[in-house]
Amino acid sequence: MSKWSEMITRFEHVTDKLGKGIDDGILTTVVALNVLGIHTTGSCEGHIEWGLPYPWIDIQPELEGKHQLYEYLKHFYQSNTIDFDRSLTFHGYRLRSQGSAFSSLFTESEKQRKLEAYQAEMNAFAAYLKTLIDA
């Protein structure tokens, strides 16, 4: 079994304090970060009805991990030009889209549209990270 398959299997069984597993829409990104040595502590794919209306991943407060994530983001955006609002960044120890900081100002329809855009950006970053693992 490959390292990737092992990690997918492992993280499919991880639960939080409430017994909930990692959301399917963020699982690939969580696994990719962990395989690459950036340890995560929490995540959500984003929800309109509850929680936060954008995907996010918390990482452990290790300076080396934050720097490694910074380098991956820097390389990812060297070849991916997108709307600044969608671009991923980390604030403190949370990876999220730039515009998510203003989600409380969005109308319901804007929240839905932006959630889909932010999820697409997180998935694009996951695909990029997976190419590094498969290389």
What strands lie across the sheet with 56-59, from one edge to the other? 40-44, 56-59, 94-97, 88-91
Which amino acid, residue 123?
N
The mean pLDDT value for 57-69 works out to 90
CA–CA separation, 46 and 15 (whole Å): 17
**Tokens matching residue 60:** 């452990």
CA–CA separation, 45 and 57 (whole Å): 9
**Residue with tokens 């990270």, as numbered in its chain:** 129
For the entire predicted model, the pTM comes to 0.91
> For residue 107, what is the DSSP state?
-
Phi, psi of 75 (to 5 degrees): -70, -40
Per-residue pLDDT of 75-121, as tens digits, reads: 999 988 888 989 999 888 999 999 999 998 999 999 999 999 999 99
Residue 1 has pLDDT above 60, yes or no: no
Phi, psi of 44 (to 5 degrees): -160, 140
Q: Give the dihedral sign, CA 101/104/110/116.
A: positive
Residue 46 has pLDDT above 70, yes or no: yes
CA–CA separation, 109 and 114 (whole Å): 9
